[in-house]
Structure 1
Amino acid sequence: MDIQGQGSLFLCCLLLGVGMGLVYDGMRLARRILPHGVWAVQIEDGLYWAAVALGVFEVLLQENHGEVRFFLLVAIFGGMGLYGTLASPLVMGVGEKVLKVIGRLVMLLLTIILTPFRLLYLAFGRPVGNFVRFCGRKSKKHLQLCKVYVKIKKDTLRRDIRFLRRKP
């Protein structure tokens, strides 16, 4: 491979490292939205590094015929390091602000959608609740009466069956 090809490959691997850092920052932002437990973070990191290893292998296979060269690894980790020191704080700061704005917009949208239902609940919630409690007490009494009725009928039925089984 000539010098120009190696330079373009170096640049490709440098951009791959930057992309890997960007993806990891996306994962970090997702963790800030939905906090994860220690095990979930470990699993996510493991899956991330497995995907990164496959991605690096694919790039090296396509662009360099599977040859692993030291300057390519330096380019990948250098791209990650450059991104981590120069762009990551900016991306995380902007990402957090964008996520806050999106969260507020979602909450505003939910408030707009749910307001009629809240108003209906405020208007009818107490009367309906009182009615349901009243019906619950009445149905409990009716069920208790039914239980007594079933017991009486069951005893009568047993007596009738004994009468029919009796030999003349």
Structure 2
Amino acid sequence: MSGIGEEANIFIQAVLSGFVVMGIYDMIRIFRRILPHNLTAVTLEDLFYWIGISLYLSVKIYLTSDGSIRWFFVTGTLAGISLFAAIFSQMRKIYKKIKKSIEKKRETH
């Protein structure tokens, strides 16, 4: 595959990488809600997250683009992050509505 097909493949992999980046951070945020953390723990978690994500994205760039940073990889990663946030923010809204309706039903019974 060469030319535009190769670039499209790299873009799709970048979008999926964006999903991974945002998905992992979302799991960290959920973990923090379940088990509250102090500032030191949050800082350390974020530090390890950013180190891990930097390594992950560096490897993805190396494997897909032979180490050269291409604009469509960066754009694809940002698109994946945005898409993940848009999809799951809608799911959170639906979850909150369902949770409120269940709580109202419990109050009335």
Please list the CA deviations of residues 109-130 of structure 1 after superposition, one character each: whole Å capped at 9, or x if unmatched: xxxxxxxxxxxxxxxxxxxxxx
Larger Cα-atom Rg: 1
| Structure 1 position 31 matched with structure 2 position 20 | no
Give the C-alpha shift of residue 77 in structure 1: 1.4
Normalising by structure 2, report the TM-score. Answer: 0.78
Query: Aligned runs of 1:105-120 on 2, under 5 Å?
Result: none
Q: Is the 8 A contact 1:22 1:88 kept in 2?
A: no
Partner residue of 2:84?
83
Instruction: Give 1:33 shift.
Output: 1.1
Give the paired residue count: 95
1:71 Cα deviation after fit = 1.6
CA contact (8 A) 1:15 1:79 kept: yes
Give the CA deviation at 1:19.
1.4
Identity among equivalent pairs (%): 28
| Aligned pairs (5 A) from 1:6-17 | 6-17=7-18
Q: Does residue 45 of the first structure (1) align with residue 46 of the second (2)? A: yes
The gaps in structure 2 that reach 5 residues or longer are 100-109
Tell me how far apart the structure 1 counterparts of residues 32 and 41 of structure 2 sit (CA, whole Å): 10
Query: How far did residue 20 of structure 1 move?
Result: 1.2
> 2 CA distance for matches of 1:91 and 1:63?
33
Structure-to-structure mapping, 1:122-137, within 5 angstroms: none
Structure 1: state its 5+ residue gaps: 98-168
The structure, 1 or 2, with the larger RCO (C-alpha pairs under 8 Å, 6+ apart) is 2
Deviation at 1:22, TM superposition (A): 1.0
Q: Which residue of 1 aligns with 2:75?
A: 74
Q: CA-atom RMSD, angstroms?
A: 2.0
Alpha carbons 1:25, 1:88 under 8 Å: kept: no
Q: TM-score, normalised by structure 1?
A: 0.52
Question: In the aligned structure 1, how far is the partner of 2:45 from the partner of 2:90?
Answer: 21
Q: State the shift of 1:89 in Å.
A: 4.8
User: Alignment partner of 2:68: what SS?
Assistant: coil
DSSP-derived class of the 1:68 partner: coil
- CA deviation after TM superposition for structure 1 residue 24, in Å: 0.9
In structure 2, C-alpha distance between the alignment counterparts of 1:37 and 1:89, rounded to whole Å: 29
